Chain A
Amino acid sequence: MMPRRLRVVIAEDAAIMRDGLTQILTRRGHDVVAAVADPDALGQAVSGLQPDVAIIDVRMPPTYTDEGLRAAQSVRRDHPEVGVLVFSQYIEARSATELFAGTSGGVGYLLKDRVADVSDFIDAVARVADGGTVLDPEVVRHLLSAGRRADALAALSPREREVLSLVAQGRSNAAIASAFTISPRVVEKHVASIFAKLGLIASDNDNRRVLAAIRYLEP
């Protein structure tokens, strides 16, 4: 299946990264409709150009703290149909779960390093544009190791923990099956078992499943 042609807005204050992202997206047949460097320009581009997805750096002017995160939240609020992929140079589980709070998909949070694995990154952009959920493996690792749910998580088998980790990253059953080279039916069984052990309500909808897992794990 040929991926659909996405309309993308990039908000990133470093020109080298802005240009690099534009190039790799363009080469794969997507439209970078705007590449901006600050939150105000992002807001204008999103409302004016109606993109499928916005890629937003956390650190942006004026104070270079969490302007990107705030901007992403306001895009989520004002334009729920636009997917938002936030990328940060640091793991901040709290920022990630803040971003995911109250959404029903179309959100992603990735470490900036992930752009190095170009295809995976483009794939993540596409999943967010399609209303999917993407959470950086590093954040998931943090959430799983932070020990808040240590007792419940201890009841999971090692394979179940691996599956939960991928679920929380936003992978579909099919993706998980191919990652472990097991059949999708086995993945389904694992997921059902995990959700039963954690006392979560299983859902056929991949996305809702991810959010339930994240909400369960969040600090």
Chain B
Amino acid sequence: MAELESIKRTLPWRIIAALVVACLLAVGGWVFAQDKAAAPAAPAAPAAAPAPPPKPDPGGIATGGIADVTAKEAGKPTLAEIADFAGHNRVSINLMWTLLTGFLVMFMQAGFALAETGFTRAKNVAHTMMMNFMVYAIGMTGYWIMGFALQMGGASPLATLGGTGVLDGEFTISLFGKDFGLWGTKGFFLAGSTYDVGVFALFLFQMVFMDTAATIPTGAMAERWKFSSFVTYGFFISMITYPLFANWVWGGGWLSQLGKNFGLGHGYVDFAGSSVVHMVGGVTALAGAMVLGPRIGKFNKDGSPNPIPGHNLPMAALGCFILAFGWFGFNPGSTLAGGDLRIAVIAVNTMLASASGAIFAMFYMWAKYGKPDPSMMINGMLAGLVAITAPCAFVSSFWAFVIGAFAGVLVCWSVFFIERTMKVDDPVGAISVHGTCGAWGVLSLGIFADGTYGDGFNGVPSTVKGLLYGDPSQLVAQIIGPIVNLCFIFGASWAFFKIYDVVFSMRVSPEVELEGLDVPEMGAHGYPEVHGPATLVHAMGTSAVKPPTMSMAPERSR
């Protein structure tokens, strides 16, 4: 009966809707017929019409031609005008590519947020999620204030982005008669002479990379870290540690000059950031997790570890997929040039390593423990991606697959080593995925780089070759890089965390940790209907707390 009533009530509206649709279809059909009729009509009166009617180009072949080249005399550009146009187009493509791939990398923040929150417990979701959320805003602010300047202030000229020369300040010291670039000095607040399109494109791209590194430790330190301490950390990594190491590798600093100055291959090469981004994040995570200590209940009195399952595996898997998608910006975008067609090789290498990482982690866990552990398959795919990030531009597809495959097994070993031997609690495996496999990535470049790419990289003529292709000195540079990374990033981060912990304390109280950080730290439950007070769970109950409307809609009666 009720259904019949409802049909009766809505009948007039249904009729009106049907009439509107019918009218639209009729008008559309008439317009389409007019359009078609017009075409054969044109040749019927050739003499009368001086200008032919505008023709569409559905095939796209006739679109874009000499008339589209900007020229004083339309349709007759001079050679100089054509050259100008070609140059502008080249930079346009590169700048567009840099921005678009930067947008993809920005989306990796969402991947990290989901992966880390899925791997942690439901009572801490608001806290874990909001660390991942706010690190984007905090990191960006710190990077704009001074991080970018320290990192890229001496990086000019930006060859692919129009030869921008305004980032021309690098602080260097002289050792052994060679210059050691330490940090940049131009581009604070992107102000003054750095108000430039090339610089801004570079800022966006480098900013999202820095934020990728900054969001890694939030996973390893989740479920026990004071939010206030996290906020301070967000400024620390985006303004100091990350920019300094990135300057040494990407900003023209001393590690990148090891080739020019000391004949070590092409200097330290990290194409898209296995070490600059991921190892920095992983090593910072290690220092932070060591200072924080393990979660309550993670280790027994005898030191044996207990598993603490994450609350939402689908969330973690979706996060991993979003990260894998964003990696198509991370690696191919690192050419900073859409006109550099090596991007095809880079993109394929990237996806192959993600596949082999996941597959080998799956088989390893399956063989060892009888089941293909879901969370380790997710870590395996990420491990493959992290590892291929440095060598992606320099290796063949075969070695890309091998690099990812080894990373897939390495990440399992590393997770067990960190947990069972070092007794460090890393809820999401961030130290292993990003730290350990990041180091493997830069080493693998020194072994497998095949000499088909990288002519002139870091100012060294000829292409980049690894040990297997005749340049052992490249491997030496690739060993120095991660050692410097470990010493500097671990030392600086550990000191920062330790001092902060002694002065302000980094860790929540045991009561807060056991109850869950959501309400004590953030003031709100992530899942109020599951973990909130009974009055929230049972909507209709009377209570002093006014139930929020979102979850309280009474069930509709039929």
A binds B: no
Interface residues of B (CB under 8 A from A): none
